[in-house]
């Protein structure tokens, strides 16, 4: 079993957390320095205001008791303004945080992630479902990452606020600082409860997804047909409700546990607080301190509680971000490793003169030990049309992907006119190829771009696009589109939806855009087309293949299970379990006794024989 | 906050259950009355402290201290208890609400209304599954409504405390606080609308984001070097969407808080402080005013709840509209069953019926294009009938009409001489089973995937096994880690993904199960597209064995399969153009014969292995 490149680990070291935090804050600082200053500055001010409010309250009460009308009036105004300022700060900090988070996440973090995903040389990162899940978390989680950072900042200031509060209490009587213990326990219990809730959310995520799936199934017209005929609508609504209720039940139980813990904690706090008040009253009775102290400690205790609860919710916000951090750091390490691999620099030849040579090429999918291509030795002469035949999983598509440098061989090498493919500049090599794949791309944009993407510099070249459309026999399709070439595709954005066959024609047209490829790949390109279309396209592409072959020695590779496309090839490769089992022309293979090709052909021919 | 929204939310609230709602209401009220209570308790405490003789102080304050601790404790308790209850309340409401949409959408008699893009838009608007902060669910809306009511009740209680000092404090503090609440609510709403205005651009950005990470598209992106182009285009969409939002996200109105909160509160505290110092009032009252006044400003400073109510209202309005569109009552009975509008649904005899299409015509509502022109066709009991034709020839429409998923524009379908509409949707559909081209892949267990072929009947595991055996599903089943209980989706715990061919076998088992549970007509729309040639032939033979117990209609593009049907019908441009056995059609030398000959010839010359529908032209 080969090791997957850059193993994923859900654990992140403290150092990595801090480094990432510093880096993200640096990004925010560069993007919105003013807002970052506001967030830090105003939160610091708020810490000061906490003290000002408490002290102001004490003096209004004390001044009033001592009959100092003017001071009492001023102190009252000070308290009112301090309270208002605190409200002002909260609002401004909230708004600025949102602003900083959005801008940094959307303009700095996300673009890099998308660019990395779209421009890595290989595609292995998009073909493993576990990796795809991780990528989805990263793609959609950049906000959460930034929010987590700002939550952490807030936790820091809340802790400062706690410190100031305790100092104030301590200024009345050092014993009052013991209230910290009564506050610390609820904090701890509340965190415990929150953690349970997050765990419950993870545990019930499957049920949430299931209910969403059943809702989709029930409300989509396509599946609605079958559901109605089967009479299953009510049952599906029941299953959906059951999944929903199960998820809610699990989360509710965790919330109840959290709530009991929280309640116990706050009752403890209330008792401690009542005790502190009693202490202050007792001191006042013995001539220490003032009534103002009572007001101060009541105020402070309220702040204490708000601060503690703030700490809990903000730190659970930061914990949410933790789910994104590990996948994000993994992606960056993976990208760094991929980009650090030796990149080819050689330019592809103008024309092919020796063709393609496979030297003992083996490919093993990362994380598995199955050889998708197994010790392939093969020479493809320049200018030839090659057909690859084989059952599902025989390695047909892998072979093509190796040629397009989507994968690098695990061992062995592929030579292009004597140069190792790995040594060729990937972009330059791909710029000299064109391909239509079985699971071709569907770009939800205007039709003309779907074609024009085949030769990006000529994206807006209407004549070139029209010519490619004609090559793919798609003029009729374009004519029937409401806005012709300018028709928007994809229902999600209000466009038209194409059928499988129509998308396929768009993909074929795209493959016809480049004028002088050295490698032309058609991977089951016509599976969804009707036979006349297929036939016509195939004939056109054969003509094209021959003319390319004359001009540049281009090699055309066709992967197909249809004999109509296979029989006319110069060379047929029959693959089984990643190995090359038969090669030759149709007339050589069809009569091979016991041959795979002959067997497959015979089976299908029988179905059409006169009965 | 319209009347409609209030009524809708009140109706939804019932789903939370009376006891829960009552408990919730009491707790929220307690939570919001706590500040006023604390203000009073503080005043009580301070009053006692101020006027007690120092030696009696401890004794005199015991009761006020206990009262204070109780009020504080009750506030905390309400706080703690509310979290799970609010969650439960909101999600009970949403659970019931979503199940209503599911049932509504999945059980409306015909499918044409659900297909309408407008209905789909309504489903999205009503679904209550928020994808961003501007979308709220009815459950959240109900909770917000309760919360708003409680906040105002709390404010009123605090006002009462203020009135204990002077009546004019009430308008002095409450009115600006209310104004502040309204302004903030408006600001929130407009922020929400700004967001929504950019939704289209956000969606476009999203589409490209998914395109960039799509495994299929990733190959095109690399061969054609589109990575950077796409990354740039995502950026452009994001900027276009968010720049107007950011432009309005300024702090320029934040100063208003000093006018609406700072000024009145300063006046109040200055006057109260002055009066307490000059003996016109007590320090106890002063501290009560301080606490109560501030709590009013604070509780009316949070207005996220208004967004919840508005947004939940939009959700409910969409649901209401959807209900009008989909509910059976919207379809006049006369359209459903022209000749049996008044009569009660007839009983279906328990035998394979003779089905006849009599002058059947269909045109999509609101379009000019006629899909079917007066089709006359019989499906004899126990017959294996093959239906072939070009894309758009009307095959799928014919099947939908046969399943009563659409209502014919003209003509009718009869079973043993009676219009199928007269039996009613449910009864008729219990006699048919259709394998659609886009069959449903439930992310449920293998067993459920089969049993949902007849979801309205109690699960019958004996028939399930027999159907599996008949469909040749055993081999796939033996490879499932938990057998019948294996979920058929990798996203489920212990689940697996099946290949296209394996799914097709699941679906065939599903159809055969329906036959065993009483279906008398099986319709297969390209059942073998994903099967390899060997398996296809096996499947076909198994099906052919079943004819007699049920009629079978087969739609296929592979003429090599179709040739073995009892009768082959050619559909072209919404009309039947030819009909007969393979041999008859060959002998007649018509279109079918021509096509088959060309096909076979081409194949023998090393060409195509299967005939596509297009070749029939």
Overall average pLDDT of the A542-548 stretch: 87
Chain centroid to Cα A7, Å, comes to 18
Backbone dihedral region of B374: left (phi > 0), alpha (psi from -120 to 50 degrees) or beta?
A: left
Q: Which residues of A touch B271 (CB under 8 A)?
A: 73, 76
Q: Is A311 exposed, middle or buried (0-12, 13-18, 19+ CB in 10 A)?
A: buried
Q: Closest by alpha carbon to A344, among A424, A262, A287?
A: A424
Mean pLDDT within A2-6: 50
Q: What is the three-class DSSP state of B33?
A: helix
Query: What secondary structure does DSSP assign to B246-283, as a single string?
Result: HHT--STTTTHHIIIIIHHHHHHHHHHHHHHHTTSS-H
Is B230 a domain residue? Answer: no
> In this predicted model, what pLDDT tens digit does every residue of A474-489 receive, in sequence order?
888 898 888 899 998 8
Higher pLDDT, A575 or B603: A575
Cβ-contact B69, A273 below 8 angstroms: yes
Top residue of B203, B237, B263, B269 to mutate, by most chain A CBs within 10 Å, is: B269
CB contact under 8 A, B251 and A96: yes
Highest average pLDDT, of A73-77, A278-282, A313-317, comes from A73-77
- Mean pLDDT, to the nearest integer, of B207-222? 90
Asked whether residue B219 is domain-assigned, the answer is: no
Query: Which of B494, B519, B544 is at the close of a domain?
Result: B519
B117 plus B188 within the same structural domain: yes
- Closest partner CB to A68 (pick from B94, B277, B436): B277
Q: Alpha-carbon distance A597 to A591, whole Å?
A: 9
Question: Which residue, chain included where needed, has tokens 């496309």?
Answer: A565
**Nearest C-alpha neighbor of B434 from the set B491, B486, B512:** B512
* DSSP 8-state secondary structure symbol assigned to residue B615: G
Instruction: For residues B40 and B162, state if they share a domain.
Output: yes
Q: Is the pLDDT of residue B617 over 50?
A: no
Contact A235 B77 (CB under 8 A): no
Partner A contacted by B223 (CB < 8 A): yes
* CATH number, residue B263: 1.20.1560.10
Among A429-433, A507-511, A601-605, B80-84, the minimum mean pLDDT is found in: A601-605
Asked if the model's pLDDT at residue A611 lies above 50, the reply is no
How many beta-carbon contacts under 8 Å exist across A and B? 506
pTM of the full predicted structure? 0.86
- B145-177 confidence digits (pLDDT tens): 999 999 999 999 999 999 988 899 999 999 999
My answer on whether B508 and B399 are in the same domain is no
B183 and B308 in a single domain? The answer is yes
A502: three-class secondary structure by DSSP: helix
What gap in Å lies between CA B44 and CA A37, rounded to an integer? 44
Query: Is pLDDT of B611 > 50?
Result: no
Query: Does residue B593 belong to any structural domain of this protein?
Result: yes
Chain-chain contact of B257 with A91 (C-beta, under 8 angstroms): yes
For chain B, helix, strand, coil in percent to 5 are 65, 10, 25
- Distance between CA B34 and CA B72 in Å, rounded? 7
Q: Which of B88, B274, B563 lies at the smallest CB-CB distance from A69?
A: B274
- B30 and B172 in a single domain? The answer is yes
Using the predicted structure, report yes or no on whether residue A532 has a pLDDT greater than 60.
Answer: no
Distances, alpha carbon A95 to alpha carbons A92, B191, B293, in Å: 5, 12, 25
Residues B514 and B539 occupy one common structural domain: no
User: Do B530 and B514 have their domain in common?
Assistant: no
Full residue range of the structural domain in which residue B546 is found? 352-431+521-617
pLDDT in tens, A97-154: 999 999 999 999 999 999 999 998 888 888 777 788 888 889 888 988 999 999 999 9
> pLDDT-derived band of residue A587, with 50, 70 and 90 as boundaries?
confident
What distance in Å separates the CA atoms of residue B521 and residue B561, rounded to the nearest whole number?
19
Examine the domain organization and report whether B532 and B501 are in the same domain: no
Q: Cα-flanking dihedrals φ and ψ of residue B511, to 5°?
A: -70, -40
DSSP string, A145-181: HHHHHHHHHHHHHHHHHHHHHHHHHHHH-GGGGGHHH
Number of domains chain B is built from: 3
Taking each continuous run of H as one helix and of E as one strand, the counts in chain A are 19, 10
Name residue, tokens 């497959």: A600
pLDDT confidence tier of residue B390, bands split at 50, 70 and 90: low
Q: How far is A507 from chain B (nearest CA, A)?
A: 9
Cα B135 to chain centroid, rounded: 14
Query: Are B408 and B476 contained in the same domain?
Result: no
In eight-state DSSP terms, residue A356 is E
Average pLDDT over residues A53-65: 88
How far from chain centre, in Å, is Cα B441? Answer: 17
3-state secondary structure B587-605: HHCCHHHHHHHHHHHHHHC
Measuring CA to CA, which residue among A125, A523, A535, A177 is closest to residue A331? A125
pLDDT of residue B350: 80
Exposure letters B354-365 (e unless 16+ CB within 10 A, then b): bbbbbebbbbee
pLDDT at B614 over 50: no
pLDDT at B605: 47
- Which CATH number characterizes residue B461's domain? 3.40.50.300
Q: How far is CA B111 from CA A227, A275, B108, B326, in A?
A: 10, 69, 7, 9
pLDDT tier, B603 (very low <50, low <70, confident <90, very high otherwise) = low
User: Do B58 and B119 reside in the same domain of the chain?
Assistant: yes
Once rounded to an integer, what is the mean pLDDT over residues A265-280?
Answer: 88
Establish if B213 belongs to a structural domain.
Answer: no
pLDDT for B321-332, tens place per residue? Answer: 999 998 876 455
Q: Which residues 6+ apart lie within 8 Å of B3 measured at CB?
A: none
What percent of chain B is modeled with pLDDT above 90? 50
CA atoms within 13 A on the CB side of B84: 23
A439-515 under CATH 1.25.40.80, yes or no = no
**Cβ within 8 Å, pair B228-A564:** no
CB A507 within 8 A of CB A518: no
Do B153 and B43 lie in one domain? The reply is yes
Task: Determine how many CB atoms are found less than 10 A away from the CB of residue A301.
Answer: 25
* DSSP SS3 for B607: coil
Question: Quick one: how far is CA A346 from the chain centroid?
Answer: 34
Between chains, do B227 and A115 touch, taking CB under 8 Å as contact?
yes
* pLDDT given for residue A562 in this prediction: 67
| Reported confidence tier of residue B559, pLDDT bands at 50, 70, 90 | confident
The residue from B493, B519, B545 where one domain ends is B519
Pick from B519, B552, B580: which residue ends a domain?
B519
> Has residue B161 been placed in a domain?
yes
pLDDT confidence of A10, banded at 50, 70, 90? Answer: confident
pLDDT over 70 at A533, yes or no: no
Structure tokens at B238: 């994001």
Lowest-confidence pick of A466-475, B91-100, B139-148, B547-556: B547-556
Residue A109, C-beta contacts closer than 8 angstroms, at least 6 positions apart: A24, A27, A142, A145, A146
Q: Does the structure show a pLDDT above 80 at B66?
A: yes
Give pLDDT tens digits for A356-411: 999 999 999 877 788 889 999 999 999 999 999 887 778 888 999 999 999 999 99
| Per-residue pLDDT tens digits for B502-554 | 888 899 899 999 999 989 999 988 766 556 656 666 777 777 777 778 899 98
Residues 6 or more apart in contact with residue B506 via CB below 8 angstroms: B446, B449, B450, B473, B476, B488, B498
Same domain (yes/no): B319, B367: no
Confidence of residue A530 (pLDDT cuts 50, 70, 90): low
Average confidence score pLDDT of chain A: 87
Band of the pLDDT at B391, cuts 50, 70, 90?
low
User: Quick one: average pLDDT of A501-523?
Assistant: 90
Q: How far apart are CA B368 and CA B376, in angstroms?
A: 22
**Using CA atoms, how far apart are residues B112 and B366, in angstroms rounded to an integer?**
12
């Amino acid at each position: 079993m080969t090791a997957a490149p850059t193993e994923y680990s859900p654990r992140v070291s403290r150092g990595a957390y801090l480094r990432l935090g510093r880096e993200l804050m640096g990004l925010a600082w560069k993007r919105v320095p003013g807002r970052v200053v506001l967030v830090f500055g105003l939160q610091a001010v708020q810490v000061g205001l906490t003290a000002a409010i408490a002290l102001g309250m004490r003096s209004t009460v004390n001044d009033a008791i001592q009959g100092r009308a003017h001071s009492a009036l001023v102190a009252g105004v000070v308290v009112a303004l301090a309270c208002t300022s605190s409200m002002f700060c909260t609002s401004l900090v909230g708004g600025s945080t949102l602003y900083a988070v959005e801008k940094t996440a959307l303009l700095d973090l996300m673009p890099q992630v998308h660019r990395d995903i779209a421009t890595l040389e290989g595609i292995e990162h998009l073909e493993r479902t576990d990796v795809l899940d991780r990528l989805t978390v990263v793609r959609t989680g950049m906000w959460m990452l930034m929010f987590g950072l700002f939550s952490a900042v807030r936790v820091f200031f809340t802790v400062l606020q706690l410190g100031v509060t305790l100092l104030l209490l301590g200024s009345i009587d050092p014993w009052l600082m013991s209230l910290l213990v009564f506050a610390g326990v609820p904090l701890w219990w509340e965190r415990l409860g929150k953690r349970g809730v997050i765990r419950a959310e993870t545990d019930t995520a499957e049920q949430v997804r299931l209910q969403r799936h059943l809702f989709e199934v029930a409300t989509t017209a396509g599946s609605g047909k079958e559901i109605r005929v089967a009479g299953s609508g009510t049952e599906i609504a029941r299953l959906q409700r059951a999944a929903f209720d199960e998820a809610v039940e699990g989360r509710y139980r965790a919330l109840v546990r959290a709530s009991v813990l929280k309640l116990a904690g706050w009752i403890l706090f209330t008792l401690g607080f009542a005790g502190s008040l009693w202490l202050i009253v007792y001191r006042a009775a013995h001539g220490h301190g003032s009534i103002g102290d009572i007001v101060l400690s009541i105020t402070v205790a309220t702040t204490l509680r708000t601060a503690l609860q703030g700490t809990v919710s903000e730190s659970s916000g930061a914990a949410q971000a933790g789910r994104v951090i590990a996948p994000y750091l993994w992606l960056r390490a993976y990208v760094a490793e991929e980009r650090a691999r030796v990149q080819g620099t050689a330019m592809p030849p103008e024309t092919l003169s020796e063709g393609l040579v496979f030297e003992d090429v083996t490919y093993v999918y990362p994380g598995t030990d199955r050889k998708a291509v197994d010790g392939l030795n093969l020479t493809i002469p320049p200018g030839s049309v090659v057909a690859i035949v084989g059952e599902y999983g025989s390695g047909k598509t892998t072979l093509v992907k190796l040629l397009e440098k989507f994968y690098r061989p695990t061992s062995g090498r592929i030579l292009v006119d004597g140069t190792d493919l790995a040594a060729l500049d990937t972009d330059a090599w791909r710029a000299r190829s064109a391909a239509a794949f079985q699971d071709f791309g569907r770009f939800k944009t205007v039709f003309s771009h779907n074609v024009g993407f085949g030769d990006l510099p000529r994206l807006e070249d209407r004549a070139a696009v029209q010519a490619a459309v004609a090559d793919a026999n798609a003029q009729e399709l374009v004519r029937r589109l409401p806005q012709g070439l300018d028709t928007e595709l994809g229902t999600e954005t209000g466009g038209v939806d194409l059928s499988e066959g129509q998308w396929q024609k768009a993909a074929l047209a795209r493959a016809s855009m480049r004028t002088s490829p050295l490698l032309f790949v058609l991977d089951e390109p016509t599976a969804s087309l009707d036979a006349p279309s297929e036939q016509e396209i195939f004939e056109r592409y054969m003509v094209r293949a021959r003319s390319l072959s004359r001009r540049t020695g281009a090699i055309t590779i066709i992967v197909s299970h249809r004999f109509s496309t296979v029989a006319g090839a110069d060379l047929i490769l029959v693959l089984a379990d990643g190995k090359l089992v038969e090669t030759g022309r149709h007339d050589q293979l069809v009569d091979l006794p016991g041959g795979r090709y002959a067997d497959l052909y015979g089976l299908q021919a029988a179905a059409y024989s006169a009965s | 906050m319209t009347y409609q929204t209030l009524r809708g939310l009140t109706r939804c609230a019932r789903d939370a259950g009376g006891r829960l709602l009552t408990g919730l209401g009491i707790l929220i009220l307690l939570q919001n009355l706590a500040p006023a209570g604390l203000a009073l308790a503080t005043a009580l405490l301070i009053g006692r402290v101020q006027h007690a003789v120092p030696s009696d102080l401890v004794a005199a304050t015991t009761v006020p201290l206990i009262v204070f601790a109780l009020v504080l404790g009750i506030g905390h308790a309400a706080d703690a208890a509310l979290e799970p209850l609010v969650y439960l309340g909101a999600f009970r409401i949403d659970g019931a609400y979503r199940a209503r949409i599911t049932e509504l959408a999945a059980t409306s008699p015909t499918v044409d209304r659900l297909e309408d893009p407008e209905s789909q838009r309504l489903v999205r608007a009503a679904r209550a599954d928020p994808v961003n902060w501007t979308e709220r669910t009815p459950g959240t809306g109900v909770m917000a409504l309760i919360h708003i009511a409680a906040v105002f009740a709390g404010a009123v209680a605090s006002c009462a405390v203020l009135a204990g000092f002077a009546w004019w404090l009430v308008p002095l503090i409450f009115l600006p606080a209310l104004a502040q609440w309204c302004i903030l609510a408006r600001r929130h709403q407009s922020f929400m609308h700004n967001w929504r205005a950019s939704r289209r651009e956000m969606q476009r950005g999203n589409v490209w984001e998914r395109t960039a990470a799509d495994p299929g598209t990733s190959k095109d992106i690399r061969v054609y070097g589109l990575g950077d182009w796409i990354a740039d285009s995502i950026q452009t969409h994001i900027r276009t969407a968010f720049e107007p939002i950011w432009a309005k996200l300024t702090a320029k109105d934040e100063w208003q808080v000093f006018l609406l909160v700072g000024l009145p509160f300063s006046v109040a505290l200055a006057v109260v402080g002055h009066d307490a110092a000059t003996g016109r009032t007590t320090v106890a009252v002063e501290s009560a005013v301080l606490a109560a006044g501030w709590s009013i400003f604070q509780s009316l400073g949070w207005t996220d709840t208004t967004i919840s109510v508005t947004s939940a209202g939009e959700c409910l309005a969409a649901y209401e509209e959807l209900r009008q569109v989909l509910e059976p009552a919207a379809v006049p009975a006369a359209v459903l069953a022209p000749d049996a509008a008044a009569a009660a649904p007839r009983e279906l005899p328990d035998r394979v019926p003779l089905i006849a299409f009599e002058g059947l015509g269909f045109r999509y509502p609101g379009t000019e294009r006629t899909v079917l022109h007066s089709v006359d066709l019989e499906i004899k009991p126990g017959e294996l009938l093959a239906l072939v034709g070009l894309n758009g020839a009307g095959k799928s429409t014919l099947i939908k009409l046969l399943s009563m998923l659409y209502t014919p524009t003209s003509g009718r379908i009869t079973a043993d001489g009676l219009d199928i509409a007269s039996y009613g949707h449910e009864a008729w559909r219990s006699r048919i089973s259709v394998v659609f081209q886009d069959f449903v892949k439930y992310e449920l267990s293998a067993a459920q995937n089969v049993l949902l072929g007849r979801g309205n009947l109690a699960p019958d595991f004996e028939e399930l096994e027999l159907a599996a055996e008949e469909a040749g599903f055993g081999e796939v089943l033996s490879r499932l880690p938990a057998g019948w209980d294996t979920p058929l989706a990798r996203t489920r715990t212990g689940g697996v993904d099946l290949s296209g061919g394996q799914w097709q076998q699941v679906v065939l088992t599903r159809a055969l199960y329906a036959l065993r549970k009483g279906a008398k007509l099986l319709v297969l729309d390209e059942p073998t597209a994903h099967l390899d040639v060997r398996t296809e032939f096996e499947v076909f033979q198994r099906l052919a064995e079943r004819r007699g117990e049920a009629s079978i209609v087969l739609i296929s593009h592979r003429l090599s399969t179709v040739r073995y049907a009892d009768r082959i019908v050619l559909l072209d441009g919404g009309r039947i153009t030819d009909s007969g056995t393979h041999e008859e059609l060959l002998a007649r030398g018509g279109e079918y014969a021509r096509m088959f000959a060309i096909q076979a010839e081409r194949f023998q010359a090393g060409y195509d292995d299967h005939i596509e529908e297009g070749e029939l032209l």
